[in-house]
Chain A
Amino acid sequence: MNMLRLAWKSLLNRRSTALLTMLTIAVSVALLLGVEKMRLHARQSFANTVSSTDLIVGARSGSVQLLLYSVFRIGNATNNISWESYREIAALPGVRWAIPISLGDSHRGYRVVGTTRDYFEHFRYANKRRLEFSAGRAFEDTYDAVLGAEVALQLGYQSGDRLILTHGLGADGLAADHSDKPFAVSGILAPTGTPVDRSVHVSLAGIEAIHINWNKIETNPTLARSSSDLRPRAITAFMLGLDSRLLAFKLQREINQYAREPLLAIFPGVALQELWDLMRVGEQALLIISLLVAAAAMVGLLAVSLAALNERRREMAILRSVGASHLHVMGLLVSESALLTAFGIVLGLVLQNAVLLVLQPWLVDQFGLLLPLGLPGAREWATLGGLQLVGILVGLIPAWCGYRNSLADGLSTRL
């Protein structure tokens, strides 16, 4: 204990270099923990986005691409699929529910999702949780819209407010406004931590209504309102829930061999696994980089300790003269290094959470990634323990040099 106090006082004496060394360690710890947190929770967060959906069907492309645009609203579909195909497949025996999805429009940067009321009935996220309304209810009219929690919060909408949807994905003013056909907010969903929060949901008829005559100057909303032309012609993708998982492979084959048009049916969980397999190389690269940064921080610690050693020959000699043994002096040097590492780790934990606190809204907004604050898990503690051990071992090197010096110098040091 005495030793640690002495080490602490000694560090205070050289506080600027000590602080900088500690900061270097803290940054490397924050990076290491950040990468680990990203790795663990990105997976969790993505896996939470879709639950209980057995199959997702879209135009034939890659399974990962279909997963990304249909579930995560990342990227765009290569092709639409016909409404007739959807109706036919949704009516196949063994299909319990089907949710059509029509993408391609936006509202002030948020994606518009055309769907049916089945979406609110059957869609599940996280651990089989269903969507809940924090206000209002599902859309009924063609010009009703249901907002995700974040859309409502960020844009300040409440039930009954009117909003204007944009054709295409551009920001307002760049793409064509459908200002002739304002939508009314019928309901707002409770937060889910998934891309649903960032979506505006309207009926499929609503999507058709946006597109009817949208390039013509003369408008006649009443015509569109009453017209049976609002029957959808094409959708982007659909989700299927089945009566039994045992039917899934057979149904997948049936859909993939569908004669009317080229379709692709994927298992979202399997496609997600494929995506992780693709990303594994990147994850490992990040992990290696963060480990190297930690190694660099440790080398920095060693450099600072060794550099200080020379300036501290007198300090060592005085300690020896007042009765400190060689072991004491060595212990002092090791304690300093251990203390610096320990403080660096604590500061790194704080730093990582602070950075996350600032970045969290942006991460959720841009990538749908919900990375929780808090202390790391067992694996990270083990890594940090390893780092602390390295910190102590690094302290042994200046301790050994200090011992050698004090042998050579004795009390005869002349500075």
Chain B
Amino acid sequence: MFKRSSLISLAIICSTAAIAQQSAHVHGFASINLAIDDEELEIEFVSPAESIVGFEYEPSNAAERKAVADAIALLRDPAKLFVLPASAGCELNEVEAEQHAEDEHGEHDEHDDEHAHEDSDAGESHSEFHAHYHFECKNTAIETIDLRLFETWPRIAEVRVQALTPRGQTGGNIDASDPVIRLQ
């Protein structure tokens, strides 16, 4: 029991940190990481801020600040991103959503070099929205998950999915023409 709960908290603490450092920042290209173990389902979502709110600089006026706040509010509702099958009986018990400025981590060297003399506040930094959802499910033999995020954020053209389930690992790119994650 102790082991399980400590694992969960570990996963929750760490999972929203800097997810995108392994994948390049491409506008219109989001990613979803999905893991199922026992009765737990965890989903991470990362998208360039440009694809969500249309800009990546620090919000400079009330309208932009509102756009970011609205986006985070949307992200806190998983139904705006995906729909889990009712038969799975999943209950959301943990959700996080936030905006990350990517150049804080010193990544994207080529980008920094290019704009070495420009202030990053001048609108040259990359930023991303990260969201993280943790569900407890009655039946984790989930076969498909429908994606709604293409409707919520039409600027997202493609999503890279990585899924780890008891039946194995799978992955691939999904776009609006067939917005379904198939878990074998």
Contacts and interface: CB of A to CB of B under 8 A. Distances in A.
Contacts of B145: none
B183 to A, nearest CB: 11
Contacts of A246: 7-8, 11, 35, 37, 40, 42
Contacts, number: 74
Contacts of A220: none
Given A249-B35, A270-B162, A256 B21 contact: yes
Interface residues of B, number: 31
A244 B37 contact: yes
A250 B169 CA distance: 16
A216 B18 CA distance: 50
Nearest to B40: A246
A252 B164 CA distance: 13
A93 B10 contact: yes
Nearest to A51: B168
Contacts of B3: 243
Contacts of B17: 253
A246 to B, nearest CB: 4
B7 A94 contact: yes
A245 B19 contact: no
Interface residues of A, number: 25
A15 B168 CA distance: 54
B11 A244 contact: yes
Interface string B157-184: 0000011111011111100000000000
A139 interface: no
Nearest to B23: A256
Interface string A231-258: 0000000000001111111101100110
A268 interface: yes
A267 B37 contact: no
A77 to B, nearest CB: 20
B170 A270 contact: yes
Contacts of A94: 7, 10
Given A257-B21, A270-B162, A249 B169 contact: no
Interface string B36-52: 11101010100000000
Most buried by A among B17, B18, B42: B42
Contacts of A261: none
A250 B33 CA distance: 10
Nearest to B18: A253
A273 B173 CA distance: 10
Contacts of B7: 94, 243-244, 246-247
Interface in B142-158: none
Nearest to B16: A250
Nearest to A272: B169
Nearest to B14: A250
8 contacts: A94-B10, A246-B37, A249-B162, A253-B19, A253-B21, A267-B169, A268-B169, A269-B171
Q: Which 4 A-B residue pairings sit nearest by Cβ, starting from the closest?
A: A269-B169, A270-B171, A245-B37, A250-B14
Given A246-B8, A253-B21, 13 more contacts: A54-B164, A243-B7, A244-B7, A245-B36, A245-B166, A248-B35, A249-B15, A249-B164, A256-B22, A257-B21, A269-B168, A270-B170, A274-B171
